[in-house]
Amino acid sequence: MPDSMKKLEQLLGRVRSSITCTRPESVASVQTAPTLDDYPEHALLQSMQRLYREEDGLANPYFQARRGALNGGLEIGDRQYVSFSHYNYLGLAQDVRVKQAVHDAVERYGTHVGAARMVGGEIELHAQLENELAEFTGFEATLISVGGYSTNVAAIGYLLDQRDLIIHDEYMHNSGIMGAVLSGARRLAFPHNDMDALEHLLGEHRRHYRRALIVVEGAYSMDGDLVDLPRVVQLKQAHGCWLMVDEAHSCGTVGATGRGVCEHFGVLPAQIDLMMGTLSKSFASCGGFLAGRRDLIDLLRHFCPGLLLYSTGISPANTAAALAALRLMRTEPQRVTRLQDNARYFREQAIARGMDCRTAVPGVPIVPLMIDNDGALKLMSQLYENGVVAHAVMHPVVPRNAARLRCFISADHEPGQIEQTLDLIGRHLGAA
Ligand code: PMP
């Protein structure tokens, strides 16, 4: 491995604190203007830039702008690529009916809603989408907001405080963790999907706190496995907790008709206190939503800073795209079937080629292919040079020595694209 690569891998190891938790305190005796040199990420960025700039450096797969639409592939410059980096799960982002709905909404409402929803920024489409999302997910009520990430931060940050306890899966998305940090509640992580460990922590700590919230993902975004929903529901009931399930990756993809983990496990939505979803994946748009009991959703709608309060309403275009996508999801459930078939096929074919997919559940549209930590950047660039966009995820986003090529599957992928890509990955892994 070239020296520059080694240095880069070392630097990668040093940035974890800023991504997952608080930064170390800096102890400046002289008060000077802050510099970027204090940030380990700054050195990492410079090192990456050098790596990709060198004469015979690696092909840079980051921030590459595509020219046309996303389907199973995409175009960058004058070249066609197959993509496993996009969560356009149901292939609705380029659907003519979704695009037409966006055109119509912009024509009718203009490009923005004008204010926070409560004070003038409400458009008819907001309530339509919220009502139809409630019907689809099976919860009493929902609310939509401008971002998935900010939805988690705002809701968790608002609902709990210093007197409370938040227990989350160690692989919980950063937005959930940042919400917990914002809340000021005691935060504990349990080992991934280890329900016995969760039970143990609850037994030990629950009684010392006023409210307690368990936070899990429906389908885990790095591993493509599912929460053990029946067990976590049983634990939340036994220990008097709220349960929040982030269904960013499972809503629209998991369950016979894409209604998520409740449908998959046969659990009643009423047994979950708060479901979080994003509009930026299956829903071919951008934004976030929460679903739950009407009184809880009403409370959040009126008082949670950063959801509808102190923040502009989600745009007409984004609302219309999600609404049109949702309607297609309901009338064309074959998209979900095709997605799940593709995901199952990808995983099967990867395993048949000797690849390690960790705990990925068949049919879930995220499949990790475990790779050597040191070779991750190189592999990603080699694939890019060969017409495949698939991004590697390394520490600190995933645990040390658990680097992987994280592949998102789409209903748009053809079996041939899956086979050719896996052959190519297999050749490069074999040659590493
Ligand atoms: N939760 C999970 C599990 C995610 O993977 C993501 C982002 N991919 C989010 C929340 C944030 O959603 P958004 O991208 O819509 O901001």
pLDDT at 116: 96
pLDDT of residue 52: 84
Take atom 5 of ligand 1 and give the residue whose Cα is closest: 221
**Mean pLDDT in residue range 228-244:** 98
- Its pTM surpasses 0.95: no
Quote the Cα angle for 69-72-77, to 5°: 50
Q: What does the buried/exposed string (b/e) look like for 401-416 if buried means 16 or more CB atoms within 10 Å of the residue's CB?
A: ebbbbbbbbbbbbeee
Report the atom number in ligand 1 closest to the C-alpha of 173. Answer: 3
What is the average pLDDT across 7-18?
A: 57
Q: What is the pLDDT of residues 253-283, one digit of tens each?
A: 999 999 999 999 999 999 999 999 999 999 9
| Nearest protein Cα to ligand 1, atom 14 | 148
Which of 55-59, 61-65, 348-352 has the lowest average pLDDT?
55-59
Q: Token pair of 371, please?
A: 């790779």
Say if residue 15's pLDDT is above 60.
Answer: no
Q: Determine the residue type at 312.
A: T
Distance of alpha carbon 398 from alpha carbon 392, whole angstroms: 10
152 CB near ligand 1 (under 6 Å): yes
Average pLDDT, integer, range 241-257: 98
Average pLDDT of span 189-197: 98
* In the predicted structure, residue 169 carries a pLDDT above the cut 90: yes
Residue 176 CB–ligand 1 contact under 6 Å: no
Helix crossing, 195-205 with 229-238: angle to 10°?
10
Q: Return the pLDDT at 3.
A: 61
Distance CA 352, CA 51 (A): 34
Angle, in degrees to the nearest 10, between helices 148-159 and 174-183: 30
Whether 137 and 259 have beta carbons less than 8 Å apart is answered as yes
Cα distances (angstroms) measured from residue 243 to each of 77, 282, 354, 427: 46, 23, 38, 44
Q: How far is the CA of 33 from the centre of ligand 1 (A)?
A: 34
Determine the pLDDT at residue 328: 98
Name the residue with higher pLDDT: 41 or 30.
41
CB atoms within 10 A of CB 54: 11
**Residue-level pLDDT at 63:** 92
* Inter-CA distances, 212 with 119, 220, 339, Å: 32, 22, 36
Rounded to the nearest angstrom, the distance between the alpha carbon of 359 and the centre of ligand 1 is: 20
Whether the CB of 145 sits within 6 Å of ligand 1? no
Helices (H), 316-375: 316-331, 334-352
pLDDT of residue 24: 55
Residue closest to 41 by CA, chosen among 6, 5, 63, 11: 11
Are 424 and 355 in contact, with CB atoms under 8 Å apart? no
d(CA 407, CA 369): 8
The pLDDT value recorded for residue 17 is 47
Ligand 1 atom closest to the Cα of residue 217 is 3
State the burial class of residue 262 (Cβ atoms within 10 Å of its Cβ: 0-12, 13-18, 19+). Answer: buried
Looking at per-residue pLDDT, the higher value among 36 and 373 belongs to: 36
Would you mind telling me the total number of residues written for the chain in this entry? Answer: 432
Using a 6 Å cutoff on CB, does residue 225 contact ligand 1? no
Res. 432 pLDDT band, cuts 50 70 90: low
Token pair, residue 347, equals 């995983």
Alpha carbon of 264 to those of 90, 224, 239, 251: distances in Å?
18, 14, 24, 11
What integer pLDDT is reported at residue 129 of this predicted model?
A: 98
Nearest-CA neighbor of 113 among 148, 146, 155, 147?
146
The best mutation among 86, 88, 149, 253 to test binding of ligand 1, ranked by most ligand atoms within 8 Å of the C-beta, falls on: 149
Q: What are phi and psi of 166, to 5 degrees?
A: -120, 125
Kindly report the number of other CB atoms within 10 A of residue 2's CB atom.
13
pLDDT at position 410 over 90: yes
Contacts of 77 (CB under 8 A, 6+ apart): 67
